[in-house]
Structure 1
Amino acid sequence: MRLLVAAMASELEAFPEALEGFDQLVTGEGKMQATYALTRALSANDYEEIVVVGTAGGIDPELDAVVHEIGSALQHDVFDLEGVAGQHVSLPARVSTGREGVLIATGDSFVGDAGITAVIRPSGAGLVDMETYAYIWVAQQFGVPIRAFRAISDRAEDGALVDFRAAIARCSVMLRETVRQEYGV
């Protein structure tokens, strides 16, 4: 059995309530809720794989507004004792799914400001979200393989929150098609 994970129920809107071979989990938004909910799910059940679906802001203008598989994640909103951005005091700077894909920058705030996007962009991240780093880190702690797919909902700049709200249904349809293509369900 696999675990299909999303931060928000609206990201699963295009998915059937029951998807053969998958349990479903909605964690809530942000790193803390993602960590807590996924830890509880993995403590209660054995899964062969975690499949994350959701939306992300596109901060690399070269990335098309489609679904992208995530290869690794960093936290853009943490600093180590020397003040180095993206370096946590006790967590790895980057976590990896073990697959080829886009680097995503995870933080606890919705990014919808060109100034913040400009600060994150030099990290090399192509996308920004609020949960992926946490999902990958938790999966690693439990030794469960993980794949993450993120659909670009907005460009993470001025007006992004309005764009995001309008884009969730479109993104859910694209994510559903990706899961259908990847897993045949």
Structure 2
Amino acid sequence: MKLLVAALDSELVAFPEDLPGFERLVTGPGKLKATFALTRALDAGTYDEILVVGTAGALDESVASGVHEINWTFQHDVINEEGVRGEHVSMPQRMDLSDGDMVIATGDSFIDDADAVQLILALGGRLVDMESYAYAWVAAQFGVPIRIWKAVSDRAQDDANTTWTEAVTACSHQLRERLRDAYGV
């Protein structure tokens, strides 16, 4: 059995409630909610794979719209004991996932301004979200393979929150089509 994970119900609007071969988990937004919900699910059940679907803001102008598979993730909103941004005091600097095509920066705030975008780009992020690092870290603790697919919902600039609200349904449909193509369900 696989576990289909999203932060918000709205990211799964295009997905049927019952999807053969998948159980469904909605964690809530942010790193703590993602960590708690996924930990509980993995502690209670056995899964051969986790598939995370959701939306992300594009930081890099060259990032195409559509669905991207994450190859590694890091936390953009942490600072280590030496003052280095993007490095946690005791957690891995980055979580490697797959042969995906994209790096995603995770943090607990919604990014919608140019200064924050430039800071995260300088750290290596091309997409931004609020959960991917947490999902990847929890999956690693349980030894469960994880894939993360993110649909570009906005450009993480002015009014990105409004753009995201309007785009989330379209992103859900793109993600559903990707799942259909990859898993045949």
Please indicate the TM-score interval, normalised by the length of the shorter structure. Answer: over 0.9
| 2:60–2:127 contact (8 Å) kept in structure 1 | yes
Matches for 1:24-173 after TM superposition, within 5 Å: 24-173=24-173
Mapped partners of 1:136, 1:84: distance in 2: 22
Offset at 1:100? 3.0
| 1:72–1:101 contact (8 Å) kept in structure 2 | no
Offset at 1:99? 2.6
Mapped partners of 2:152, 2:127: distance in 1: 8
Mapped partners of 1:151, 1:68: distance in 2: 6
Mapped partners of 1:20, 1:106: distance in 2: 30
TM-score relative to the length of structure 1: 0.99
TM-score relative to the length of structure 2: 0.99
Mapped partners of 2:177, 2:98: distance in 1: 23
In structure 1, runs of 5+ residues without a counterpart are: none
Mapped partners of 2:47, 2:101: distance in 1: 22
Offset at 1:60? 1.1
Offset at 1:122? 1.2
Using the aligned pairs only, state the percent identity: 56
Structure 1: which 4+ aligned runs deviate by more than 3 Å? none
Q: Which deviations, in whole Å up to 9, do the C-alpha atoms of 1:30-86 show, x marking residues without a partner? A: 000000000000000000000000000000111111100000000000000011001
Mapped partners of 1:81, 1:21: distance in 2: 44
Offset at 1:124? 1.8
Offset at 1:123? 1.6
| 1:35–1:134 contact (8 Å) kept in structure 2 | yes
Name the count of aligned residue pairs.
185
RMSD: 0.6
What secondary structure is seen at the aligned counterpart in 2 of 1:139?
Answer: helix
Q: Which residue of 1 aligns with 2:10?
A: 10
| 1:5–1:26 contact (8 Å) kept in structure 2 | yes
Offset at 1:20? 0.3
Deviates more, 1:29-38 or 1:111-120: 111-120
